[in-house]
Chain A
Amino acid sequence: MASDTAAEITNSAYRPARPRVRVGPWAISWLEVSPLAIILVVLFAAPTVLFFVISFFDYDRVGIYPAFLWDNYRELLTTPATWRIYVSSLRFAVIVWAITLFVGFNIAHFLVFHIRSSTTRMVLFMLCAVPFWTSAIIRTIAWIPFLGRNGAFNTMLIDLHIVHQPLEFLLFSDFAVVITYVHLYTLLMIGPIANSLSKIDKSLLEAARDAGASRWQIMRNIIIPLGRTGITLGSILVFTQVMGDYFVVKRMSGGQSASIVSALSTEIQAMQYPPASASAVVLVLFVAFLVAGMMRIVDVRKELVS
């Protein structure tokens, strides 16, 4: 038995190398990334090109017709409603971005630099992350019984004699929309920021303290610059989620506001594909512009891969 194995080993060790086609090392990489590339090209890039093309098409109540018209864009951009919706969405995005950035950064900072035990850190992080596993739709409507006129929050305020009349602005308002967004998306800030803060070598903070930096100076000169990858990534995620929201504004604003995407879906449901495509293209360009601007601050790719 033992000698058999030995013979086998010897055999295989001395088997002459079969002549092979030499390929560059990147050919292996191509093979490895090809499924990803094919799926993204066929199911993401091609459809995007498709609605870009269709945005120039002509249409009537029956169908759509190949053409090269700027009418869809002209109509879209000359409608005051479009501008109103963009302004309102952008306003929501900025408010939510500011709140989630403040809360997310501070919580990430707390978890990374103030919690000494890694078990406690893990538990606290999981506590932040667990609600993310619940359906966004459920998490959105969860605010309705909480914020409503007879909701838990108003009841509590009245019981504590803080107010005498239930607060009306809590639900079906811009306030409710912002609250829901913050509830849904703060984790998208905490995760990437905590990840990049945890990569900061603690001895850098000591070196800064040694050089006489105050708590605030360390924050401004060391932690924020070194955490900028996470800050950028989190900002991109929150911004794009809010700009692409379909559900929250529709459900929580009580019909006072519409989101860009929900307006667009109305056109899709009416089968008005060319104008829907035109507003899709405008939204994509808008988001791309924002994201590219943020990515200019940080080379996200370099920082992620290294």
Chain B
Amino acid sequence: MAREREPRPYTFYLLAGLMGLFLLFLYGPMLVIYVLSFQGPNGGVTFPMVGVSTQWFANIIKPGQVANIPASFERSIVLAIVVSLLTVVISVAAGLGFRRRFPGAGLLFYIAIASLVMPSLLVGFGIGLGFQMLGLPQGLYTSTLGAQLTWTLPFGLLTMFAVVARFNRSYEEAARDLGASAWQRLRYITIPLLLPGIIGVAVGAFTLSYDEYARTTLTIGSYNTLPLELYALVSSDSTPTLFAIGTVTTAVSFVLIGLTMFAVIRMQRRRRMLPT
């Protein structure tokens, strides 16, 4: 039911103005690089545009032209998927565990918070040192994966707190009453009901990993992830190629967000009656 227009207070217009300015601030510079990524062949990294071309996009995949972007992109995506899956499983389990009081709950919570607020580079530094002391080789799926998990897991845990707090335990009790085993309750009741939150954790962990720089840089093995490759490029390359990469990665993110939103909205539509 559409509400009749109540008169807006003047603060509404002030805040709407602030919101507009903020969005302009947020998107303005991004739009500039999207435009500049189509810079003509003789143009530089600032305006004016000297013609229009897609040559900077072509540069990304041309081997030898710039650092190996396609390979590092693939590595980043696969790593992000692994991180995201592990984060979901571990933080959902932990979120459910935290529903009861247990000895050590407070300590574990504060370790998680500490891991979240610890300057990222220091986490990488510590892990790098540890591997060196133990004489282990660093690698994408050992030290890097571990370093990223110290960042995505606390995030996943906090998200699960918010999700689990809204979860009504009587659904589980009802299922138990109807003879569902512990596993059946988890499989048919708890997980489906928590699914929107779980997707949130998955997407969040994916992006945190995909974009991770400071924890990764000291724990990486022989092959770079995309952010590391980009960082190297920022210092070495001064052509619009970087902007083209920015445009492509943004487009990838948009597709990802679009798909997630679509999935979540469809899911919510299917069970409107659920209290949020």
For A244, list chain B residues within 8 Å (CB). 118-122, 214
Do residues A142 and B29 form an inter-chain contact, with CB atoms below 8 A?
Answer: yes
| Interface segment, one of B59-67, B88-96, B191-199 | B88-96
What are 25 A-B pairs with beta-carbon distances under 8 A? A30-B102, A30-B104, A36-B93, A36-B94, A36-B112, A40-B153, A44-B111, A48-B126, A50-B133, A107-B22, A124-B19, A126-B257, A126-B261, A128-B26, A130-B253, A142-B246, A145-B32, A215-B9, A240-B118, A244-B118, A260-B119, A261-B119, A280-B125, A287-B117, A300-B113
Query: Which of A54, A139, A301 makes the CB contact (< 8 A) with B129?
Result: A54
Residue of A nearest to B18 (CB): A106
Do residues A116 and B3 form an inter-chain contact, with CB atoms below 8 A?
Answer: yes
Do residues B47 and A151 form an inter-chain contact, with CB atoms below 8 A?
Answer: yes
Contact with B along A29-56 (1 / 0, CB 8 A): 1111101110111111111101100100
Nearest CB in chain B: distance from A202 CB, A: 13
Residue of A nearest to B182 (CB): A28
Residue B36 CB within 8 A of the other chain: yes
User: Most chain-B CB neighbours within 10 Å: which of A48, A50, A124?
Assistant: A48
Contact with B along A118-130 (1 / 0, CB 8 A): 0000001011101
Given known pairs A47-B126, A51-B129, A247-B231, the reply for A33 and B119 (CB within 8 Å) is no
Do residues B127 and A133 form an inter-chain contact, with CB atoms below 8 A?
Answer: no
Do residues A301 and B109 form an inter-chain contact, with CB atoms below 8 A?
Answer: yes
Nearest CB in chain B: distance from A167 CB, A: 14
A26 CA / B102 CA spacing, docked (Å):
5
For A221, list chain B residues within 8 Å (CB). none
Contact with A along B1-13 (1 / 0, CB 8 A): 0010000110110
A110 CA / B249 CA spacing, docked (Å):
30
| Interface segment, one of B50-58, B154-162, B169-177 | B154-162
Interface residues of B (CB under 8 A from A): 3, 8-9, 11-12, 15-16, 18-19, 22-23, 25-30, 32-33, 36, 45-47, 89-91, 93-94, 96-106, 108-115, 117-123, 125-127, 129-130, 133, 146-147, 149-150, 153-154, 157-158, 161-162, 165, 179, 207, 211, 213-214, 217-218, 226-227, 230-231, 234, 242-243, 245-246, 249-250, 253-254, 256-257, 261
Do residues B122 and A28 form an inter-chain contact, with CB atoms below 8 A?
Answer: no
A145 CA / B226 CA spacing, docked (Å):
22
A276 CA / B46 CA spacing, docked (Å):
38
For A276, list chain B residues within 8 Å (CB). 125
Nearest CB in chain B: distance from A177 CB, A: 14
Residue A228 CB within 8 A of the other chain: no
Residue A160 CB within 8 A of the other chain: no
Do residues A287 and B231 form an inter-chain contact, with CB atoms below 8 A?
Answer: no
Given known pairs A130-B257, A137-B230, the reply for A247 and B100 (CB within 8 Å) is no
Residue of A nearest to B246 (CB): A138
Nearest CB in chain A: distance from B254 CB, A: 7
Nearest CB in chain A: distance from B66 CB, A: 14
Interface residues of A (CB under 8 A from B): 13, 25-26, 28-33, 35-37, 39-48, 50-51, 54, 103, 106-107, 109-110, 114, 116, 124, 126-128, 130-139, 141-148, 150-152, 155, 182-183, 186, 195, 215, 236-237, 240, 243-244, 246-247, 251, 260-261, 264-265, 268, 273, 276-277, 280, 283-284, 287-288, 291, 300-301, 304-306
For B150, list chain A residues within 8 Å (CB). 39-40, 43-44
Do residues B207 and A32 form an inter-chain contact, with CB atoms below 8 A?
Answer: no
Given known pairs A135-B230, A247-B213, the reply for A103 and B22 (CB within 8 Å) is yes
Given known pairs A128-B23, A151-B46, the reply for A136 and B253 (CB within 8 Å) is no
Residue of B nearest to A269 (CB): B218
For B32, list chain A residues within 8 Å (CB). 142, 145-146, 151-152
A148 CA / B47 CA spacing, docked (Å):
10
For A155, list chain B residues within 8 Å (CB). 47
Do residues B46 and A284 form an inter-chain contact, with CB atoms below 8 A?
Answer: no
A264 CA / B129 CA spacing, docked (Å):
14
A151 CA / B130 CA spacing, docked (Å):
45
For A133, list chain B residues within 8 Å (CB). 207, 211, 250, 253-254, 256-257
Query: Which of B114, B153, B254 makes the CB contact (< 8 A) with A39?
Result: B153
Query: Which of B3, B101, B234 makes the CB contact (< 8 A) with A251?
Result: B234
For A43, list chain B residues within 8 Å (CB). 127, 146-147, 149-150
A243 CA / B45 CA spacing, docked (Å):
30
For B25, list chain A residues within 8 Å (CB). 182-183
Do residues B256 and A36 form an inter-chain contact, with CB atoms below 8 A?
Answer: no
A276 CA / B16 CA spacing, docked (Å):
47
User: Most chain-A CB neighbours within 10 Å: which of B19, B104, B254, B261?
Assistant: B19
A152 CA / B48 CA spacing, docked (Å):
9
For A145, list chain B residues within 8 Å (CB). 29, 32-33, 36, 45-47, 243
For A251, list chain B residues within 8 Å (CB). 234
Residue of B nearest to A32 (CB): B97
